[in-house]
């Protein structure tokens, strides 16, 4: 009866979809079955935190992923909060139970050899769009900037005398990114072609043939299309190139604090994930190269 009234509450008062309500019902039924396996005398009102922890452990032992276990635990948490509000229980047994930590996936990146093939051996075409598309990929890979930062770049943000680019990141935080002589030459080539086809002042640094600002979607599609020429990764996005920038920097002994500043991360923890990426790559090299690995 308690379970039925809770599910009715979800459907009628919370306006949850039928599919969501069914998910809650299955999770609660599974927990009830676990309780019966522990003792036939147990019911939903006689549950304590230790029983719930035991259920979590049993789910992990059966091979459920951390995300699935946390979702089931969330169903149980909502159920006991409901019972507590209605006065069926005097304490929430789930309150002090923590679910398993969800392991964050490592960032996807393009190997240096593949980036070299794309930038040095792939024909983008000599016209405006070909030069622009190659330069956009080069910008992501050589500066680590975000897609929104590139799209919103203006002519005044690029200082050719000092070889630095000013980008505006999250929460309007600005930072300076240095660039090398080769990128400077490519930037100037692009500008000369852009200024030939654009009459007057362009509204952004990177534009379409008609002078209008590139959309984030257009940038994503051109990166995806060109990365597909050299890699078979499932993810082929500007953010993958940002990951590739960070990974390449750390692979070549860059200080992690410097990489943090270049990426515009608020704290070092966000940057440290790339050290795991480089170590995973090292493991692959070791396993492939060592005869007894």
pTM greater than the 0.75 cutoff: no
Nearest to 262 by CA among 146, 140, 177, 172: 177
Strand partners, 168: 174
Contact 164, 176 (CB under 8 A): yes
6-49 pLDDT tens trace: 999 999 998 999 999 999 999 999 999 999 999 888 889 989 99
- For residue 193, the model assigns a pLDDT of 94
Q: Which residues are marked as active site?
A: 146, 170, 239, 242, 265, 274
- For residue 276, the model assigns a pLDDT of 73
- For residue 273, the model assigns a pLDDT of 83
Per-10-residue mean pLDDT, the chain, length 293: 90 91 94 91 89 93 91 94 92 91 81 95 92 98 96 96 94 93 96 88 90 95 96 94 93 91 90 78 68 63
End-to-end CA distance of the chain: 58
Task: Quickly list DSSP for 156-199.
Answer: GGEETTTTEEEEE-GGG-EEEEE--HHHHHHHHHHHHHHHHH--
193-206 pLDDT tens trace: 999 988 777 889 99
- For residue 253, the model assigns a pLDDT of 87
- For residue 292, the model assigns a pLDDT of 66
Instruction: Show the domains of the chain with their CATH numbers.
Output: 2-86 (1.10.150.130), 112-289 (1.10.443.10)
Collapse the DSSP code of 207 into the 3-class scheme (helix H, G, I; strand E, B; otherwise coil) and give the result. strand
- For residue 42, the model assigns a pLDDT of 86
Collapse the DSSP code of 213 into the 3-class scheme (helix H, G, I; strand E, B; otherwise coil) and give the result. strand
Contact 168, 152 (CB under 8 A): yes
């Amino acid at each position: 009866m308690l379970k039925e009234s809770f599910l009715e509450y979800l459907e009628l008062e919370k306006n949850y979809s039928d599919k969501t309500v069914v998910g809650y019902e299955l999770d609660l039924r599974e927990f009830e079955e676990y309780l019966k396996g522990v003792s036939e005398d147990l019911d939903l009102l006689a549950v304590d935190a230790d029983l719930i922890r035991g259920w979590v452990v049993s789910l992990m032992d059966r091979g459920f992923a951390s995300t699935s276990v946390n979702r089931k635990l969330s169903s149980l948490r909502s159920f006991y909060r409901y019972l507590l509000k209605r006065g069926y229980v005097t304490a929430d047994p789930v309150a002090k139970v923590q679910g398993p930590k969800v392991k964050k996936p490592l960032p996807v990146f393009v190997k240096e050899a593949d980036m070299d093939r794309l930038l040095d051996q792939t024909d983008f075409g000599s016209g405006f769009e070909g030069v622009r598309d190659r330069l956009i990929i080069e910008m992501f890979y050589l500066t680590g900037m975000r897609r929104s930062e590139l799209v919103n770049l203006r002519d005044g943000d690029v200082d050719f005398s000092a070889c630095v680019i000013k980008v505006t990141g999250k929460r309007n935080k600005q930072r300076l990114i240095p660039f090398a002589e080769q990128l400077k030459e490519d930037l100037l080539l692009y500008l000369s072609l852009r200024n030939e086809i654009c009459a007057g002042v362009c509204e952004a640094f990177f534009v379409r043939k008609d002078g209008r600002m590139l959309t984030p979607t257009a940038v994503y599609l051109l990166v995806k299309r060109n990365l597909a020429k050299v890699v078979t990764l499932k993810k082929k996005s500007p953010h993958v190139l940002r990951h590739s920038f960070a990974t390449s920097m750390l692979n070549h002994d860059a200080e992690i604090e410097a990489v943090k500043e270049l990426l515009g991360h608020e704290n070092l923890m966000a940057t440290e994930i790339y050290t795991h990426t480089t170590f995973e790559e090292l493991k692959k090299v070791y396993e492939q190269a060592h005869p007894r690995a």
